[in-house]
C-alpha cells in the first residue's frame, strides 16, 4: 500500500522577538526589534515582533529606518544562545512526530508526516499536538501547514501566520496557489518577478497558465521548474540529515576597525566558532575563505586551499593569517569580517604518516573542550589568542554568538 | 647567427625543451628559448631557473652565433609550416628572420646574454646508468610526490645510492612508496639527493627505453645527459623523512591477492565514491575480502573477493585512488596486502617467493 505523501512545515512566529518576550514578559505586547540596540546606526533588523510589524518594520530593514518608522520600539541586540536553545527544544518536539525532520533554518523545519498519520489521527491532530507541545516546552507560538509537498506546505504556513494552521489537500495544490501574488512563490525573486510582470503575469495562477513555450523561451530550464512550482508540483524530499556545503561565521563591528591586531583576534574567535560547528557535524574543511567588508561596503574574499582537510582551529587560523596580508593591502576601515569553511568532507579523516601525533593531540584536546562546551556553553573555553568578548571590542551582529 | 635545419627536427627539439617554460613569468627572458650554434648543430635551452632542458639538433651552420626566441611563437609557427628546411637568421635590432619555402616570418627577440647560464658539470665524474632503469624507478614512485609547496622537502623524489643499490622514495605524508634497483648500480658510491618533482616529470617524459644516461651530482644541482638531451635541476635542500622508520615491521595480517582482480574490484567500488566521500572499506576475513562503500546522496556498493588470508578479521578504510596508484605499477600477478589494525598503515607490495622487497608501498588509512 502506498502512503499518501504529507509534508508539514512549521515556522516559528517572529522567533527571536518571541523568545525575548518569553524571557522578559514585560516586553509582551510591545513593538520589539531585534538586530541592534538604540545606538546602533549600522545594523539591520533581524526580527521584528508582530507589534513592530504594524509600523511597517520588517527583517533586513536598516535599523535607522526601523527607528524612524517605530520610534517607540524596543531595540535589542540578539542573544543567539537563547534562540538556539529554544530551537533545539522545538526540534526535540518535532522528532517525536517523525524521524524525518529537516531543519531549514533556526526557526523553520519540514517534517515528513506521511507515516505518522495513523498514530496521531491525521494532519490536524499532528499539527495541534506540535503546537501544544511547543507551547508547553517553550511558550512560543508557531504556525503549521500540512500539504502534499514541501513547496505548498511552506507557502501554506506563510499564509496562515501568525499562530495559525492550514491544511492543503492532495490535488488542491494548484488551486491553493492560484490567487497568490508571485512574491509568495519560493524561487521567484525580484528580477524574475519583474520579468513576469512585463509579460503581464501578476499571480501564481497566471504563471501556471502561461504556455510552456513562453516560459521556456524567457527563462530557459529554470522556467520549467518555475512553472512546475506555480502548479504546486514539487518532489524534493525531506532530508533529515542534510550535509552542509559550507560553514561560516561573520560579524559586523560597532565601529569600523583599522587595527588589524584587534581584527585578527575577532577572526580567531569566529574561527573557533566555525571549527566547533564543523566538529559537531563530524566534518572537515579543505578550503578557508576570509571575508572583509570595508567602510564603503566593498566586500573582498580571499581563499586558500589547505593541503589536508582539517577541523582544527589552529590549522584554520594559520591559513587565515596567511590571507590577512592580502586583505590588509586595501587600507580602509573594516566593517565586517568573516570566515567561511568550504569543500567540506564528512567522516573522511585521512591519517598521516609523519605529523599525525601532534594533530591527534590537538584533536583529543579539542574533543575534550567540545564536551565541556556542550554542557556549559561555547564561551567557557577559548583559545589564548582569541578576544575577550564584551570588553574592548563590541560586536554588532548576533551571528557571532551562534 | 644563420642556420638551416629541417622543420620536423627543430619542432621536435622545441617541444622537448619548452615544457619548462612558464606561461607567465616575472622575467620575460624565461619565456624564450636560447639557441646557440655548435660545430654543425644548434643547441636549444629552456629554463625556469630551477629546471633547465637542453636539446641539440644537427643542422648546417652558415654563421655561428646565438639568439633567443619566444618558445610559444616558435612552436606555433613551426607546427603550421609545411615540411622542409627552415632558414633561421638573426638580423639587426634583434629581429629574427625565419624562412621556409614561400613563407617569411619576422620575430622580435631578446639579447642572448640575458639568458641565465646553465651549469655545465665539467669537473664532475658522471655516474652511468641505464635510461630504462632510471625511468622505471621514477615511474614506480613519482606518483606519491607531494604537490603541496608548503611541504617543500617532500615535493621531490629521494634518490639514494649505497651498497650497490639505487633506492627512490616519494611521500606526500599520507602514503609512501619506495623502489629499489640492485642490478647495474656501481658499487662504492654513496649519495642521497632530493630531485624536484618537476624534474622527475620531465625525465619520465624524455628518458628512452634504451641507451645510457650520465648522471652528474654536485652539492646543489644535478644533471642528466642522454642522447641529444641534457637536463639540469636545482636539488631540494632539506630533510627527507627516514623511510626505513615508516615501513612497518610488525604487521601480522598478510593477505595475498590476485593483482588484476584487486584492481578491477577497487575500480568498481570507486565508482560509488565522490570527491567528498572517498573512502573504501576493506574487510578481510578468512579466504575473503569485502569491499564496501557508502556515500551519502550517491549510493552504496559492496563486493566480495576471494583472497588468500588466514589471519584475524580486520576492517580498514583507504582512499581507493591511493590503492590504484600503487597497483598500476605492480607487475606481478599477485600482490601482498599487509595490515595490522584500522589506524596503522597498510602495505602493498608485489608477491615474491622469498628475497628482499624491491617495491614497497605504505598507505595511511582513513579513520573508520
In DSSP notation, A181-221 reads: BGGGSTT--HHHHHHHHHTT--BHHHHHHS-HHHHHHHHTH
Domain that holds residue B48: 2-114
Which residues does chain B have within 8 Å of residue A241's beta carbon, measured at their own beta carbons?
296
The kind and range of the H/E element at A334 are: strand A334-346
Bridge partner residues of B346 (DSSP): B363
In a domain, B33, yes or no: yes
Q: pLDDT tens digits, residue range B318-330? A: 999 999 999 999 9
Identify the three-state secondary structure at position B308: strand
The arrangement of secondary structure in A7-13+81-174, i.e. its CATH architecture, is 2-Layer Sandwich (3.30)
In a domain, B119, yes or no: no
Residue in the structure block whose three cell numbers are 590549522: A315
| Alpha-carbon distance values, A388 to A271, A276, A395, B249 (Å) | 14, 18, 11, 50
| B282 phi/psi in degrees, rounded to 5 | -115, 120
The answer to whether residues B282 and B273 touch, using CB atoms and an 8 Å cutoff, is: no
Q: pLDDT tens digits, residue range B109-120? A: 999 999 999 988
Query: Nearest CA to CA, how far is A353 from chain B (Å)?
Result: 5
What gap in Å lies between CA B75 and CA A93, rounded to an integer?
A: 70
Same domain, yes or no: B84 and B156: no
Q: What is the mean pLDDT of residues A197-214?
A: 93
The answer to whether residues A100 and A59 touch, using CB atoms and an 8 Å cutoff, is: no
The kind and range of the H/E element at A81 are: helix A80-94
Nearest C-alpha in A relative to B343: A351
Nearest C-alpha in A relative to B274: A345
The answer to whether residues B138 and B168 touch, using CB atoms and an 8 Å cutoff, is: yes
Tell me, yes or no, if A348 comes closer than 8 A to chain B by beta carbon.
yes
Counted domains in chain B: 3
pLDDT above 70 coverage of chain B, percent? 99
Q: Is B33 exposed, middle or buried (0-12, 13-18, 19+ CB in 10 A)?
A: buried
Which residues does chain B have within 8 Å of residue A308's beta carbon, measured at their own beta carbons?
173-174
In a domain, B330, yes or no: yes
Query: Nearest CA to CA, how far is B70 from chain A (Å)?
Result: 33
Same domain, yes or no: B262 and B338: yes
Question: Which residue out of A353, A356, A358 would a mutagenesis test of the B interface target, given it has the greatest number of B Cβ atoms within 10 Å?
Answer: A353
Bridge partner residues of B233 (DSSP): B51, B222
Q: What is the pLDDT of residue B62?
A: 94
Per-residue confidence band for A1, with pLDDT thresholds at 50, 70 and 90: very low
Q: What is the mean pLDDT of residues A361-373?
A: 80
Nearest C-alpha in A relative to B175: A353
B250 pLDDT higher than 70: yes
Q: From chain B, which residues contact A within 8 Å (Cβ)?
A: 148, 150-151, 171, 173-176, 241, 246, 276-279, 296-297, 319, 343, 345, 362, 364-367
B307 pLDDT higher than 60: yes
Which residues does chain A have within 8 Å of residue B279's beta carbon, measured at their own beta carbons?
348
Average pLDDT, chain A: 88
| Alpha-carbon distance values, B161 to A123, B179, B180 (Å) | 78, 12, 10
| Alpha-carbon distance values, B251 to B241, B245, B255, B365 (Å) | 21, 13, 11, 14
- Closest residue by Cα to residue A341 from A250, A248, A261, A272: A248
Ranges A161-170, A381-390, B78-87, B90-99: which has the least confidence: A381-390
- Point out the residue among B150, B278, B364 whose CB comes nearest to the CB of A353: B364
Q: What is the pLDDT of residue A346?
A: 81
In a domain, B230, yes or no: yes
A389 pLDDT higher than 70: no
B146 pLDDT higher than 90: yes
B125 pLDDT higher than 70: yes
Q: What is the pLDDT of residue A307?
A: 81
Q: What is the mean pLDDT of residues A95-108?
A: 91
- Closest residue by Cα to residue A70 from A97, A45, A93, A105: A45
Contact A354 B241 (CB under 8 A): yes
- Closest residue by Cα to residue B108 from B93, B118, B121: B93
A377 pLDDT higher than 90: no
Question: Is-catalytic flag, A108?
Answer: yes
CATH code of the domain covering residue B287: 3.10.150.10
Domain A246-398 has CATH 3.30.1490.100: yes
In B39-102, the DSSP E strands lie at 41-47, 51-58, 60-63, 66-70, 85-90, 95-100
Same domain, yes or no: B252 and B239: no
Same domain, yes or no: B158 and B259: no
Q: pLDDT tens digits, residue range A317-361? A: 999 999 999 999 988 999 889 999 998 888 788 888 886 667 777
In sequence order, what are the residues at sequence separation of 6 or more whose Cβ sits closer than 8 angstroms to the Cβ of residue B87?
B2, B3, B4, B97, B98, B99, B100
Contact A353 B174 (CB under 8 A): yes
| Residue finishing a domain among B244, B274, B305 | B244
Per-residue confidence band for A386, with pLDDT thresholds at 50, 70 and 90: low
Q: pLDDT tens digits, residue range A206-257? A: 999 999 999 999 888 889 999 999 999 999 888 876 677 889 888 888 788 8
| Alpha-carbon distance values, A310 to A189, A288, A352, A402, B274 (Å) | 36, 10, 12, 21, 18
Same domain, yes or no: B228 and B298: no
CB contact residues (below 8 A), chain A span 67-106, against chain B: none
- Closest residue by Cα to residue A118 from A216, A26, A198, A1: A1
Question: Which residue out of B173, B177, B318 would a mutagenesis test of the A interface target, given it has the greatest number of A Cβ atoms within 10 Å?
Answer: B173
B357 pLDDT higher than 60: yes
Tell me, yes or no, if A26 comes closer than 8 A to chain B by beta carbon.
no
What gap in Å lies between CA A396 and CA B202, rounded to an integer?
A: 55
Tell me, yes or no, if A247 comes closer than 8 A to chain B by beta carbon.
no
Q: What is the mean pLDDT of residues B210-219?
A: 93
Contact B171 A353 (CB under 8 A): yes
Same domain, yes or no: B257 and B235: no
Which residues does chain A have within 8 Å of residue B345's beta carbon, measured at their own beta carbons?
351, 353
A2 pLDDT higher than 60: no
- Point out the residue among A348, A351, A353 whose CB comes nearest to the CB of B176: A353
Q: Is the peptide bond before B257 cis (omega within 30 degrees of 0)?
A: no
Q: What is the mean pLDDT of residues B155-184?
A: 93
Contact A348 B296 (CB under 8 A): no
Domain A15-79 has CATH 2.60.120.200: no
Per-residue confidence band for A392, with pLDDT thresholds at 50, 70 and 90: very low
Tell me, yes or no, if A235 comes closer than 8 A to chain B by beta carbon.
no
Q: What is the mean pLDDT of residues B14-21?
A: 94
Q: What is the pLDDT of residue A397?
A: 45
Q: What is the mean pLDDT of residues A172-178?
A: 95
Per-residue confidence band for A390, with pLDDT thresholds at 50, 70 and 90: very low
| Residue finishing a domain among B71, B89, B114 | B114
* Residue extent(s) of CATH 3.30.1490.100 domains in chain A: 246-398
Nearest C-alpha in A relative to B150: A307
Q: What is the mean pLDDT of residues A81-105?
A: 90
Neighbours of B248 (CB within 10 A): 16
Tell me, yes or no, if A352 comes closer than 8 A to chain B by beta carbon.
yes
Instruction: Please give the class, per CATH, of domain A184-230.
Output: mainly alpha
Neighbours of B101 (CB within 10 A): 12
Q: Is B242 exposed, middle or buried (0-12, 13-18, 19+ CB in 10 A)?
A: exposed
**Residue B65, C-alpha cell as written in the block:** 652565433
∠ CA A260-A263-A268, rounded to 5°:
125
Nearest C-alpha in A relative to B247: A353
| Residue finishing a domain among B67, B87, B114 | B114
- Point out the residue among A307, A344, A348 whose CB comes nearest to the CB of B148: A307
Query: Nearest CA to CA, how far is B364 from chain A (Å)?
Result: 6
Which residues does chain B have within 8 Å of residue A344's beta carbon, measured at their own beta carbons?
276
Q: What is the pLDDT of residue A402?
A: 36
Same domain, yes or no: B261 and B359: yes
Q: What is the mean pLDDT of residues A121-125?
A: 93
CB contact residues (below 8 A), chain A span 300-319, against chain B: 307-308
The answer to whether residues A249 and A270 touch, using CB atoms and an 8 Å cutoff, is: yes
The answer to whether residues B289 and B367 touch, using CB atoms and an 8 Å cutoff, is: no
Q: Is B278 exposed, middle or buried (0-12, 13-18, 19+ CB in 10 A)?
A: buried
Q: What is the mean pLDDT of residues A163-180?
A: 95
Q: What is the pLDDT of residue B184?
A: 82
Q: What is the pLDDT of residue A356?
A: 65
Tell me, yes or no, if A355 comes closer than 8 A to chain B by beta carbon.
yes
In a domain, B288, yes or no: yes
DSSP string, A298-329: -EEEEEEEEEEEE--HHHHHHHHHHHHHHHHT
Bridge partner residues of B363 (DSSP): B175, B346
Q: What is the pLDDT of residue B327?
A: 96
- Closest residue by Cα to residue A345 from B363, B321, B269, B278: B278
Tell me, yes or no, if A351 comes closer than 8 A to chain B by beta carbon.
yes
In a domain, B120, yes or no: no
Contact A352 B151 (CB under 8 A): no
Tell me, yes or no, if A367 comes closer than 8 A to chain B by beta carbon.
no
Residue in the structure block whose three cell numbers are 534562540: A83
Catalytically annotated residue among A20, A51, A102, A108: A108
Which residues does chain B have within 8 Å of residue A237's beta carbon, measured at their own beta carbons?
none
Identify the three-state secondary structure at position B118: coil
Q: What is the mean pLDDT of residues A119-142?
A: 94
Question: What is the bridge-based pairing of β-strands A32-34 and A74-76?
Answer: parallel
What gap in Å lies between CA B284 and CA B264, rounded to an integer?
A: 17
Amino acid at each position: 500500500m502506498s502512503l499518501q505523501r504529507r509534508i508539514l512545515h512549521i515556522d516559528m512566529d517572529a522567533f527571536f522577538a518571541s523568545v525575548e518576550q518569553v524571557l522578559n514578559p514585560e516586553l509582551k505586547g510591545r513593538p520589539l526589534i531585534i538586530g541592534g540596540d538604540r545606538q546602533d546606526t549600522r545594523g539591520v533588523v533581524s526580527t521584528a515582533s508582530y507589534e513592530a510589524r504594524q509600523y511597517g518594520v520588517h527583517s533586513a530593514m536598516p535599523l535607522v529606518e526601523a527607528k524612524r518608522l517605530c520610534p517607540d520600539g524596543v531595540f535589542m541586540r540578539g542573544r543567539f544562545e537563547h534562540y538556539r536553545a529554544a530551537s533545539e527544544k522545538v526540534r526535540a518536539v518535532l522528532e517525536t512526530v517523525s524521524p524525518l525532520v529537516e531543519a531549514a533554518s533556526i526557526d523553520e523545519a519540514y517534517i515528513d508526516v506521511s507515516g505518522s498519520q495513523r498514530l496521531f489521527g491525521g494532519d490536524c491532530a499532528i499539527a495541534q499536538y506540535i503546537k501544544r507541545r511547543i507551547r508547553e516546552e517553550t511558550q512560543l507560538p508557531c504556525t503549521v501547514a500540512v500539504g502534499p509537498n514541501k513547496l505548498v506546505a511552506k507557502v501554506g504556513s506563510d499564509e496562515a501566520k501568525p499562530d495559525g494552521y492550514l491544511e492543503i489537500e492532495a490535488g488542491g495544490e494548484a488551486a491553493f496557489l492560484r490567487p497568490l501574488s508571485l512574491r509568495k512563490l519560493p524561487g521567484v525573486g525580484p528580477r524574475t518577478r519583474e520579468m513576469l510582470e512585463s509579460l503581464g503575469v501578476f499571480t501564481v495562477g497566471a504563471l501556471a497558465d502561461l504556455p510552456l513555450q513562453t516560459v521556456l523561451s524567457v527563462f530557459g530550464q529554470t522556467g520549467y521548474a518555475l512553472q512546475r512550482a506555480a502548479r504546486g508540483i514539487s518532489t524534493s524530499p525531506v532530508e533529515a540529515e542534510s550535509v552542509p556545503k559550507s560553514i561560516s561565521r561573520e560579524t559586523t563591528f560597532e565601529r569600523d576597525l583599522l587595527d588589524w591586531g584587534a581584527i585578527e583576534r575577532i577572526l580567531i574567535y569566529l574561527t573557533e566558532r566555525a571549527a566547533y560547528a564543523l566538529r559537531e557535524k563530524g566534518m572537515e574543511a579543505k578550503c578557508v575563505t576570509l571575508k572583509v567588508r570595508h567602510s564603503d561596503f566593498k566586500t573582498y574574499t580571499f581563499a586558500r586551499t589547505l593541503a589536508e582537510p582539517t577541523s582544527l582551529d589552529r590549522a584554520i587560523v594559520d591559513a587565515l593569517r596567511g590571507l590577512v596580508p592580502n586583505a590588509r593591502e586595501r587600507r580602509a576601515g573594516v566593517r565586517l569580517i568573516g570566515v567561511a569553511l568550504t569543500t567540506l568532507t564528512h567522516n573522511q579523516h585521512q591519517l598521516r604518516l609523519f605529523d599525525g601525533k601532534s594533530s591527534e593531540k590537538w584533536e583529543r584536546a579539542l574533543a575534550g573542550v567540545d564536551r565541556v562546551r556542550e554542557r556549559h556553553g561555547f564561551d567557557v573555553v577559548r583559545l589564548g589568542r582569541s578576544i575577550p568578548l564584551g570588553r574592548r571590542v563590541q560586536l554588532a551582529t548576533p551571528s557571532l554568538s551562534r | 647567427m644563420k642556420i638551416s635545419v629541417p622543420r620536423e627536427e627543430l619542432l621536435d627539439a622545441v617541444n622537448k625543451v619548452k615544457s619548462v617554460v612558464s606561461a607567465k613569468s616575472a622575467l620575460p627572458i624565461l619565456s624564450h628559448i636560447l639557441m646557440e650554434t655548435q660545430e654543425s648543430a644548434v643547441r636549444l635551452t629552456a629554463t625556469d631557473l630551477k629546471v633547465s632542458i637542453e636539446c641539440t639538433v644537427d643542422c648546417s651552420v652558415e654563421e655561428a652565433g646565438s639568439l633567443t626566441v619566444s618558445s610559444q611563437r616558435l612552436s606555433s609557427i613551426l607546427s603550421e609550416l609545411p615540411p622542409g628546411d627552415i632558414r633561421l637568421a638573426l638580423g639587426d635590432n634583434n629581429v629574427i628572420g625565419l624562412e621556409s619555402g614561400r613563407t617569411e616570418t619576422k620575430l622580435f627577440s631578446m639579447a642572448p646574454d640575458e639568458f641565465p647560464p646553465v651549469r655545465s658539470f665539467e669537473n664532475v665524474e658522471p655516474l652511468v646508468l641505464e635510461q630504462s632503469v632510471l625511468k622505471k624507478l621514477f615511474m614506480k614512485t613519482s606518483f606519491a610526490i607531494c604537490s603541496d609547496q608548503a611541504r617543500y622537502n617532500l615535493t621531490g623524489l629521494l634518490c639514494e645510492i649505497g651498497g650497490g643499490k639505487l633506492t627512490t622514495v616519494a611521500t606526500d605524508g599520507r602514503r609512501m612508496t619506495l623502489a629499489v634497483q640492485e642490478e647495474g648500480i656501481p658499487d662504492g658510491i654513496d649519495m642521497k639527493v632530493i630531485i624536484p618533482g618537476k624534474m622527475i616529470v620531465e625525465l619520465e617524459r624524455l628518458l628512452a627505453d634504451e641507451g645510457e644516461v650520465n648522471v652528474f651530482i654536485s652539492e646543489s644541482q644535478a644533471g642528466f645527459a642522454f642522447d641529444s638531451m641534457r637536463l639540469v635541476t636545482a636539488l631540494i635542500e632539506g630533510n627527507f623523512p627516514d623511510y626505513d622508520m615508516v615501513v612497518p615491521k610488525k604487521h601480522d595480517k598478510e593477505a595475498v591477492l590476485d593483482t588484476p582482480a584487486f584492481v578491477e574490484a577497487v575500480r568498481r567500488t570507486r565508482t560509488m565514491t565522490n570527491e567528498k566521500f572517498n573512502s573504501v572499506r576493506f574487510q578481510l576475513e578468512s579466504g575473503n575480502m569485502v569491499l564496501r562503500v557508502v556515500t551519502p546522496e550517491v549510493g552504496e556498493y559492496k563486493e566480495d573477493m576471494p583472497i588468500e588470508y588466514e589471519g584475524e578479521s580486520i576492517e580498514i578504510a583507504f582512499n581507493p585512488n591511493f590503492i590504484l596508484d600503487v597497483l598500476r605499477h605492480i607487475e606481478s600477478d599477485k600482490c601482498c596486502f599487509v595490515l595490522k589494525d584500522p589506524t596503522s598503515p597498510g602495505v602493498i607490495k608485489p608477491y615474491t617467493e622469498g628475497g628482499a622487497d624491491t617495491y614497497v608501498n605504505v598507505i595511511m588509512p582513513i579513520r573508520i
